[in-house]
Amino acid sequence: MSLDKIDIVRYSRQLPLLGAGGQIRLLGSRVAVVGLGGLGSLISLYLAALGVGKLILIDPDKVGLENLNRQILYSTSDIGRPKARAAAERIAALNPLVEVESYEERVTEENAEEVLEGADIIMDGLDEWRSRLVLDQYAWEKGKTLVHGAAERYYGQVTVVERGRSNCLACIAPKPPAERGCSGVVAPTVGIVASIEVMEALKVMTGIGEPAYNKLIVVDARRPAIDEIALKHMSCEECRSRIR
């Protein structure tokens, strides 16, 4: 794979930082964005703008008016439309060089193989823990990279999970938090967390920098502060049963 003239112009501002080799690795990468809400909206836009070769967009929901304070992938005219379909159209308009595949369904243990098989990296744009553990289990079993992110109110967290390099999510939270629904969030919070998630994916794809393996990046947008917590590397072979 090589860069053509269109690639060189489109990505000219990042090429001095990534180099031709880094950009080519992006063009050859396949990334699944699971959940196209506040986090997934920005993750998808940034990955498309960076020039990832293929995006797999997954979300079972439809756009609602209450989404528009933070889910900037959509417009008012998208209300009532499937998020995955509207997102695919927006991404294609932003960067037609990116191959887009979309699924209007929830990722489960039963369909994970079908919808995620084509991805090298899985981006967590979800808002509930049990579904995250489905991604965690699949990524761990298949040796794929999972970039986890979560945001609520003014706070967020990010970590990178990869077998042989880090803990899995089940190690970090052996007892999933009670699902109570989001207590509120402002757009800048998801913006910060999504940007960090994309930066972590960029590091994994290009080899530039150090991904947050065995580290939990914690965001407090009110202070503001971005802190890093070291996570003890545990034996994940002993925690597989915790996912179920």
Please give the chain's pLDDT, 244 residues, in tens: 778 887 899 999 999 999 999 999 999 999 999 999 999 999 999 999 999 999 999 999 999 999 999 999 999 999 999 999 999 999 999 999 999 999 999 999 999 999 999 999 999 999 888 899 999 999 999 999 999 999 999 999 999 999 989 888 888 776 666 665 567 899 999 999 999 999 999 999 999 999 999 999 999 999 999 999 998 766 555 555 444 4
Q: Which tokens hold the place of 51? A: 């020039």
- Nearest-angstrom CA–CA distance, 134 and 40: 17
pLDDT, position 5: 83
Instruction: Supply 43's token pair.
Output: 């993750």
First to last CA, the chain: 41
3-state helix, strand, coil in the chain (%, to 5): 40, 20, 40
**pLDDT at site 243:** 43
Nearest to 169 by CA among 223, 133, 139, 201: 133
**5 Cβ neighbours under 8 A, 6+ residues apart:** none
CATH class for domain 5-243? alpha beta
Sheet containing 225-230: give its strands across.
99-103, 54-58, 30-34, 121-124, 145-152, 155-161, 215-220, 225-230
239 by Cβ neighbours in 10 Å (0-12 / 13-18 / 19+) ranks as middle
Dihedrals φ, ψ of 193, to 5°?
-65, -45
For the chain, what are the domain ranges? 5-243
